Structure 1
């Protein structure tokens, strides 16, 4: 598993695919079998995102543990909002606020992730 923790490639792949599957699942009819399947695949990618992120956190948090900890927390909140959107919409409850929180947490996570030394230096 050390191969996966040496670079961010696997982690970026998992969150990109996870977000795509989440958006597909959110766009499907809440009572369809396809949505349930897409939701379960999204949950698998949530686990992969958390595992790869945790491996990166353990490897690189020695440099700036506070910022990496905040990014890890923001990532958890982003995944939590993704799950809440799918579950609340399946129960036909309002998801407007949860969508807004998802986008806020996602943008904050991406900004901090790209700003940290292991990330891509787009905001340098």
Structure 2
């Protein structure tokens, strides 16, 4: 699971991974400039979409999708065990990823936090 925070002063969205998710994703945190965040949606159905090619991370169908993937030229970062809590964060002008697909504790609150931060941009 990822903890999402917004640092307006530094202009960053941070996703910090907890527990074993650090191991599965091969990452402890991601920092994305807010200027590169286009928006977020709660999308439990995304787990049924093809993942693409795993670049680094962990994939056990139906159990966990974590790490870096490439699909149709798109760079994705996954961190999902429970698809019901999946949030998709759309990025633009990103150096590393086009979308982040992350499991969060409260998808609705996370989407609202991100959308408010993007709107203030």
TM range (shorter): under 0.3
Q: Which structure exhibits the higher relative contact order, with contacts defined as CA atoms closer than 8 Å and separated by 6 or more residues? A: 2
- TM-score relative to the length of structure 1: 0.25
Decide which structure has greater strand share: 2
Larger Rg: 1
Decide which structure has greater helix share: 1
- TM-score relative to the length of structure 2: 0.25
